[in-house]
Chains A and B, each alone.
Chain A
């Protein structure tokens, strides 16, 4: 993921990391920490399967996998798992491990992909999908004004983060439990150190 990082473009993946936890985004995209654990390894295996470049006709739907997406206007870059076209409409599909919608940050990623796709094709993208491997379910993501605004706001925050490198504080939340960077981050340590009395 780190190799996507160049001075000019923001990796799309950084957006949903930021929405999940700004400190995590900093660790991954500013400090360059990325450790495989069960979650990410599983994620990679899934991605590898999806990312074998292919394009095929499946019934009436045209599909192309593992496409690089880029937007010069928003300085965004990333790879899409799958782009489909049905009834003349293009839309991105993003594969996720696990069940749907535990955190809503994945929608940002689909929206950012759609922004790139719009710029690349000149088409307006109205929708996208999140595919959850665990439940084999597709969830519709509507590119409404709200989601677009949230995505652009997040993009701005991530740009500022990457430009300045300023570390957002690690704040312990329920999300920390599922975070692959927990052992590096030790989000409870700050609190615990301040209360600690050495024997």
Chain B
């Protein structure tokens, strides 16, 4: 949080009991009588508070006024909730979103897109690893992934589609440990709430951050983030943010987690475990490192396969949301998930 680069992007506040205020047109963060950050609001596209902080009414007003979303997480990175700026007045997007919930063909098409996107991106991650490290044993996982991808477009029931997603994810996480190329870290199986090993804690933390970003993009486009298609039943709470995250999980979060570990940005000593719950989390120093690299990843550019032009992942969140709105409004015949080779 101390690096005050030209383009701030998302501001992460990791200092416990920080005071977030507003001075003129600037967002300021102070703690223990020291100034930690002083940045023009115009350079901020989101604020993520990790742990406890006080926000001044003036700062709150300014954030809402400027439509800057603010998310709150525990200091270990568990998502708590957010301050959502007013939705855009684009009632047409929301109404199309709701209508599709009652139209199985549309909902199914969208669900297929999210699942295909996620599984295909899993597949490319494994293929790339296989190319880079021929000694890895990824063939079984790859063929199980393929078996989950192929039937997606011929499967009409939502529950069966969820089943394919489950199978594909299991295949991928079944060999995720092989993608970790350094000593000292091990991945057995995906576990959340609380994550009890460093790799899982990084994944969970990353998905929380991703959710903040994707939900912000959905809000800008005019969606109601609480009405989803894929996640309607699973979490007992509709959430389009969780849906749209799917295709981005491997591209953004898993990629950052693997590179952070494999390039030794984080060591096992950057993690601590709680005595009773065994919940593992990053040390403050480790957290800053991870946040920096996550932000860097979001700002990294690639060529968008549909639009055929360069964009960053941060921009891609919004582009995908816009492509989804075009499909829902009947302007396009399909929703193309972001699939990268």
The bracket for how many chain A residues form the interface is 20 to 34
A196 in contact with B89 (CB, 8 Å): no
Q: How far is the CB of A193 from chain B (nearest CB, A)?
A: 4
B331 in contact with A190 (CB, 8 Å): yes
Name which of A28-36, A59-67, A101-109 contacts chain B.
A28-36
Name which of B14-22, B68-76, B185-193, B332-340 contacts chain A.
B332-340
Please name all residues of chain A whose beta carbon is closer than 8 Å to the beta carbon of B88 when the two chains form the complex.
31-33
What's the Cα separation between A167 and B88 when bound, in Å? 17
Please name all residues of chain A whose beta carbon is closer than 8 Å to the beta carbon of B329 when the two chains form the complex.
167
Please name all residues of chain A whose beta carbon is closer than 8 Å to the beta carbon of B332 when the two chains form the complex.
189-190, 193-194
A188 in contact with B341 (CB, 8 Å): no
Q: How far is the CB of B90 from chain A (nearest CB, A)?
A: 4
> Is A170 interfacial (CB-CB < 8 Å)?
yes
> Is B118 interfacial (CB-CB < 8 Å)?
no
What's the Cα separation between A33 and B88 when bound, in Å? 7
Interface residues of B in 222-240 (CB under 8 A from A): 222
Please name all residues of chain A whose beta carbon is closer than 8 Å to the beta carbon of B116 when the two chains form the complex.
198
Q: Count of B residues near A, CB < 8 Å?
A: 29
A167 in contact with B333 (CB, 8 Å): no
> Is A186 interfacial (CB-CB < 8 Å)?
yes
What's the Cα separation between A137 and B223 when bound, in Å? 44
Known contacts A2-B89, A199-B341; decide if A193 and B322 are in contact (CB<8 Å). Answer: no
Please name all residues of chain B whose beta carbon is closer than 8 Å to the beta carbon of A169 when the two chains form the complex.
331
Q: How far is the CB of B46 from chain A (nearest CB, A)?
A: 17
Interface residues of A in 22-54 (CB under 8 A from B): 30-33
Interface residues of B in 300-331 (CB under 8 A from A): 305-308, 318-319, 322-323, 326, 329, 331
B residues at A contact (CB < 8 Å):
88-93, 116, 120, 221-222, 305-308, 318-319, 322-323, 326, 329, 331-334, 336-337, 339-341
Ranked 8 nearest A-B pairs via Cβ: A32-B89, A31-B90, A193-B332, A196-B306, A199-B339, A196-B336, A190-B331, A192-B306
Return 24 A-B CB contacts under 8 Å, by A number. A31-B89, A31-B91, A31-B92, A31-B93, A32-B89, A33-B90, A33-B222, A167-B92, A169-B331, A183-B318, A184-B322, A189-B307, A189-B323, A190-B326, A190-B331, A193-B326, A193-B332, A193-B336, A194-B333, A196-B306, A196-B336, A198-B116, A198-B339, A199-B305
